[in-house]
Amino acid sequence: MSVDKQTVEQLAELARIAISEETIDEVGKRLGNVLQLVDQLQSVHTEGVAPMAHPLDEVQALRPDEVTEPDRREEFLQLAPQSEQGLYLVPKVID
């Protein structure tokens, strides 16, 4: 089982990951192997079984809407590959 070229390209686009033309077949083959492994799930009878999101079925904790974090903008911007005037810099998006 192998995932076809078109699907690999579509997934790469969805995930925003560049995949070189030469490796597409190999990636498709390996994805196919993983999907074959997980296809065992299809034969399991799960009607009426509630999907499990949290092991202890805990509910989301609520907290008061208060400011707790200090402003560390300059510190965080220093981690960015490029920034300018307090903003993250990316290539031009609109003409």
Partner 1 sequence: MHQLTIAEIIRGLREREFSSVEITRQLLTRIEQLDGDLNSFISVTAESALRQAESADQRLAAGDAPALCGVPIAHKDIFCTRGTRTSCGSKMLDNFVPPYDAHVVEQLQAAGIVSLGKTNMDEFAMGSSNETSYYGPVRNPWNPGHVPGGSSGGSAAAVAAQLVPGATATDTGGSIRQPAALTGTTGLKPTYGRVSRWGMIAFASSLDQGGPIARTAEDVAYLLSAMAGHDPRDSTSLNRPVPDFTATLGDDIRGLRIGVPKEYFSEGLNPDAAARVQDALKEYERLGAELVEISLPHTHLAVPAYYVIAPAEASANLSRFDGVRYGYRCENPADLRDLYMRSRGEGFGEEVKRRILVGAYALSAGYYDAYYNKAQQVRRLIKQDFVQAFGQVDVIMGPTAPNPAFRLNEKTDDPVAMYLEDIYTISANLAGLPAMSLPCGQVNGLPVGLQVIGNYLDEARMLNVAHQYQQATDWHRASAPFAQTAGEQ
The contact set with partner 1 (CB under 8 A) reads 3, 7-8, 11-12, 14-19, 27, 30-31, 33-35, 37-42, 44, 46, 49-56, 58, 60-61, 63, 72, 75-76, 79-82, 88, 90-93
User: Which residues have CB under 8 Å from 86's CB, separation 6+?
Assistant: 73, 74, 77
Q: With contact defined as beta carbons under 8 Å apart, do 8 and 24 qualify?
A: yes
**Closest distance between partner 1 and the C-beta of residue 79, in Å?**
4
**Closest distance between partner 1 and the C-beta of residue 5, in Å?**
13
* Distance in angstroms (rounded) separating the CA atoms of residues 3 and 9: 10
